[in-house]
């Protein structure tokens, strides 16, 4: 035990005063004579013994009162368990990620508890100490040291951030200064976001301050969203499915989920999800959706609510580029079916005058009844195939097999001289290619007829077949092959109701870039189609914020770098001047929704467990205040000493008053 003001201990000499009073209290006595004092002697002896006991107790009480009163002025304390670093600089990292919205008490969020602990830290250190406060935003104020008053102002502005960091990112940020520092790490130590842990720098004194949730928390969130058929075109029937995950040890029942499209509630339902398991919920998308559509799922999951909304975009804004190469200038059935300018960017070229740049940029190239494919076009189509492009081959009745054979690999082509029209077999309804094409899956459906002209052997997976099992329309990778020319001498397929949806599906499956429904804030780049944007023009993201991201051209696309440190989750329109190019949905990283924590002991062990790592075990800011003062300032005892002094003064009063 030590004393803040040891000079007051000289006052302990006052303890001699009550002793002297006790020893030299020579009170004069009056002698009275009695004829017989035998009885009086006995009474005198008994009274004297009691008086001596009372006087000794009063003496002890007075001495103890004076003793503890002197100690109170000397201010005794137990020395601090930890010494402050020689440097007058302190680094504090406060985790303000979304997971810190969890409750650590009935009405206290983890982030509020963490800020209260920061205030206790800056109170403990001397006034000349400077502090560097780091949050997940890595904002400019965290680059320099501040005074206590400046830190207080910064704390009043801190909010929950959509950004989460790995252990390595946090470690690098806190180890910028190489001088010996006291580093305080206040966090919920979320396992999913921290990732792999490694030993800390031994030159600094690390103080781990875990913020533990009130109890084990179960959290249900959207894991992923997908369309049942990603190759649909605007206006077609489709289903959207949300996949939920329950990151908890308790089954959740009767959770309500809503699907909002263009700020209108499109559907709602309830579902249940087993502990640590997935559950899927599907909704039919409204028909007639065109261009860009804002959408989100909302689930009523409490008490964790930061990830209750999940944004996604249903975009039909990008037209599908279709290029037809034909022999005659007349309007073909292909041009008729792809003539919808809202859905398709269609170009038709004669074989003798092909624009090869359009071929390379197309999503689908239709080789329409060419008698032969010349060498230059063959080379272009092969390169196009290698780049992932889709080709539809429609044979001519005057077909030169060798030129087609170079495009169709793996199948030997042959020409048949069939003169009979054969009805096609009913399509395989379970084939994903025909998903949502037929409202009723009936075997009574009327099918088109065709003559066998081009054959390529048996194909069990053919999209359409003749009654005898021979293929009429086959898909070989992204190359589609028809068995008959599209004219009335060979088939009525091009006049049948099935023709339009089949052609649409072929065109949609040719999309080289499937539209992303959503992105994560962890994604570094997104790509949008920018062929209509002038080279010198910049695009901007407009939503809850308006941001001009770093961007560069990549062919016809614009590559945007997501500014992860300043952007919030939500829906953002990609705008060039007055034109909307695309719609992006940005969501929090899924890692943030897994709330399982490292305990303080686990963190210390994984970080090396050295003497330079200390652990605070306080459950709240109030107990943390006592613990940090005990560690760095020691335990003061003057209050206890004063209390004991008053106690013994009271004892003296009670002895004099009641002890007879």
* Parent domain of 413: 320-509
**One domain, residues 555 and 575:** yes
Task: Specify if 276 maps to a domain.
Answer: yes
CB burial string 299-316: b at 16+ within 10 A, e below? bebeebebbbbbbbbbbb
For residue range 197-215, what is the model confidence (pLDDT) as tens digits?
A: 988 878 888 999 999 887 7
CATH number at 561 reads 2.60.40
**6 phi and psi, to 5 degrees?**
-65, -20
- Name the domain boundary from 286, 317, 348: 317
- Name the domain boundary from 491, 509, 527: 509
- Name the domain boundary from 317, 332, 367: 317
CATH number at 302 reads 2.60.40.10
**One domain, residues 397 and 491:** yes
CATH number at 419 reads 3.40.50.880
**One domain, residues 285 and 339:** no
Coil, strand or helix at 554: strand
Task: Specify if 84 maps to a domain.
Answer: no
**One domain, residues 465 and 601:** no
H/E element, 295: strand 291-299
Task: Specify if 382 maps to a domain.
Answer: yes
Instruction: Give the per-residue pLDDT at 472.
Output: 94
**One domain, residues 651 and 608:** no
Instruction: Give the per-residue pLDDT at 79.
Output: 61
Helix/strand/coil percentages in the chain, nearest 5: 30, 30, 45
Angle between helices 110-124 and 621-632 (to 10 degrees): 20
**One domain, residues 402 and 464:** yes
Instruction: Give the per-residue pLDDT at 25.
Output: 63
CA dist 599 and 604 (Å) reads 9
Instruction: Give the per-residue pLDDT at 34.
Output: 61
Phi-psi region of 259 (alpha: psi -120 to 50; beta: other; left: phi over 0): beta
CA dist 324 and 342 (Å) reads 18
Decide the pairing of beta strands 320-326 and 344-350. parallel
CA dist 2 and 384 (Å) reads 85
Task: Specify if 472 maps to a domain.
Answer: yes
**One domain, residues 277 and 341:** no
Instruction: Give the per-residue pLDDT at 308.
Output: 95
Q: Are 251 and 275 in contact (CB under 8 A)?
A: yes
CA dist 597 and 533 (Å) reads 47
Radius of gyration of the chain (CA): 42
**One domain, residues 209 and 102:** yes
Cα angle 66, 72, 77 (rounded to 5 degrees) comes to 135
Alpha helices in 462-576 (DSSP H): 499-509
Predicted TM-score (pTM) of this structure: 0.71
Instruction: Give the per-residue pLDDT at 40.
Output: 54
CA dist 412 and 457 (Å) reads 7
Residue with tokens 């539809």: 392
Query: What tokens does 381 get?
Result: 């189509």
Instruction: Give the per-residue pLDDT at 501.
Output: 86
Kindly write down the DSSP assignment for every residue of 481-534, as one continuous string: EESS-SSTTTBSGGGSTTHHHHHHHHHHHT-SSPPPS-EETT--EEEEE-TTS-
Q: What is the mean pLDDT of each run of 10 residues along the chain (660 residues)?
A: 75 81 62 61 58 81 86 73 66 93 86 94 87 90 90 92 90 75 92 90 88 82 86 72 93 95 94 94 86 92 91 82 91 90 87 88 91 89 88 90 82 84 88 72 83 90 91 91 92 92 86 78 86 79 91 84 88 88 91 91 91 88 84 72 88 81
Task: Specify if 514 maps to a domain.
Answer: no
**One domain, residues 417 and 471:** yes
Residue with tokens 């005892």: 637
H/E element, 359: helix 356-361
Instruction: Give the per-residue pLDDT at 26.
Output: 45
Which letter does DSSP use for residue 239 in this model? E
Query: What tokens does 34 get?
Result: 């009695």
For residue range 382-432, what is the model confidence (pLDDT) as tens digits?
A: 889 888 889 999 999 888 888 888 888 767 889 887 888 999 998 888 887
Task: Specify if 303 maps to a domain.
Answer: yes
Q: Are 180 and 86 in contact (CB under 8 A)?
A: yes
Task: Specify if 570 maps to a domain.
Answer: yes
Task: Specify if 362 maps to a domain.
Answer: yes
**One domain, residues 183 and 94:** yes
Instruction: Give the per-residue pLDDT at 56.
Output: 83
Q: Are 165 and 142 in contact (CB under 8 A)?
A: no
Please give the tally of structural domains in the chain: 5
Quick one: 462 exposed, middle or buried, by C-beta within 10 A (0-12, 13-18, 19+)? buried
**One domain, residues 502 and 628:** no
**One domain, residues 344 and 426:** yes
């Amino acid at each position: 035990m030590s004393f803040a003001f040891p000079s007051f201990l000289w006052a302990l000499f006052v303890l001699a005063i009550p002793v002297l009073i006790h020893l030299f209290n020579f009170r004069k006595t009056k002698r009275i004579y009695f004829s017989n004092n035998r009885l009086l002697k006995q009474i005198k002896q008994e009274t004297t013994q009691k008086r001596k006991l009372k006087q000794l107790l009063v003496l002890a009480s007075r001495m103890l009162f004076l003793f503890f009163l002197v100690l109170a002025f000397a201010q005794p304390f137990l020395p601090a368990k930890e010494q402050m670093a020689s440097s007058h600089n302190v680094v504090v990292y406060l985790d303000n990620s979304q997971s810190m919205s969890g409750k650590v008490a009935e009405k206290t969020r983890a982030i509020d508890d963490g800020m209260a602990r920061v205030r206790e830290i800056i109170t403990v250190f001397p006034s000349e100490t400077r502090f560097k406060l780091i949050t997940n935003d890595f904002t400019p104020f965290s680059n320099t040291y501040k005074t206590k008053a400046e830190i207080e102002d910064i704390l009043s502005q801190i909010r929950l951030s959509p950004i989460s960091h790995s252990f390595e990112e946090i470690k690098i940020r806190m180890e910028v200064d190489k001088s010996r520092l006291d580093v305080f790490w206040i966090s919920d130590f979320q396992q999913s976001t921290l990732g792999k842990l490694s030993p800390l720098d031994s030159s600094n004194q690390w103080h781990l301050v875990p913020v533990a949730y009130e109890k084990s928390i179960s959290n249900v969130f959207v894991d992923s969203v997908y369309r049942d058929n990603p190759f649909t075109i605007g206006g077609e029937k489709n289903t959207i499915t949300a996949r939920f995950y329950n990151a908890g040890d308790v089954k959740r029942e009767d959770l309500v989920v809503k699907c909002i499209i263009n700020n209108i509630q499109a559907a709602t339902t309830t579902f249940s999800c087993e502990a640590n398991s997935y559950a899927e919920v599907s909704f039919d998308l409204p028909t007639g959706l065109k261009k860009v559509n804002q959408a989100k799922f909302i689930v009523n999951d409490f008490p964790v609510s930061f990830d209750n909304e999940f944004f996604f975009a249903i975009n039909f804004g990008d037209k599908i580029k279709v290029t037809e190469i034909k022999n005659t200038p007349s309007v073909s059935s292909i041009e008729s079916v792809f003539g919808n300018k809202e859905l398709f960017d269609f170009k038709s070229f004669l074989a003798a005058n092909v624009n090869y740049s359009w071929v390379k940029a197309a999503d689908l190239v239709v080789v329409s009844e060419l008698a032969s494919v010349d060498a230059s076009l063959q080379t272009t189509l092969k390169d196009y195939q290698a780049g992932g492009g889709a080709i539809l081959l429609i044979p001519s009745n005057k077909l030169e097999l060798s030129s087609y054979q170079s495009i169709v690999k793996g199948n030997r082509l042959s020409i048949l001289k069939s003169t009979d029209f054969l009805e096609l077999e009913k399509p395989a309804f379970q084939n994903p290619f025909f998903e949502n094409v037929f409202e009723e899956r009936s075997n009574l459906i009327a099918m088109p007829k065709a003559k066998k002209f081009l054959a390529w052997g048996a194909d069990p997976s053919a999209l359409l077949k003749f009654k005898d099992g021979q293929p009429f329309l086959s898909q070989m990778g992204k190359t589609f092959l028809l068995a008959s020319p599209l004219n009335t001498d060979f088939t009525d397929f091009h006049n049948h109701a099935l023709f339009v949806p089949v052609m649409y599906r072929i065109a949609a499956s040719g999309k080289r870039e499937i539209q992303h429904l959503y992105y994560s804030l962890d994604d570094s780049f997104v790509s949008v189609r920018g062929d209509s944007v002038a080279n010198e023009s910049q695009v901007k993201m407009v939503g809850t914020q308006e941001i001009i991201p770093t961007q560069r051209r990549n062919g016809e696309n614009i590559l945007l770098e997501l500014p992860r440190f300043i952007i919030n989750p939500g829906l953002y329109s990609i705008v060039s001047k007055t034109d909307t190019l695309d719609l992006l949905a940005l969501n929090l990283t899924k890692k943030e929704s897994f709330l399982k924590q490292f305990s303080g002991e686990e963190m210390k062990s994984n970080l090396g467990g050295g003497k330079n790592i200390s652990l605070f075990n306080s459950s709240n800011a109030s107990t943390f205040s006592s613990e940090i003062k005990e560690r760095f300032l020691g335990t003061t005892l003057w209050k206890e000493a004063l209390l004991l002094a008053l106690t013994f003064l009271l004892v003296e009063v009670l002895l004099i008053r009641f002890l007879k």
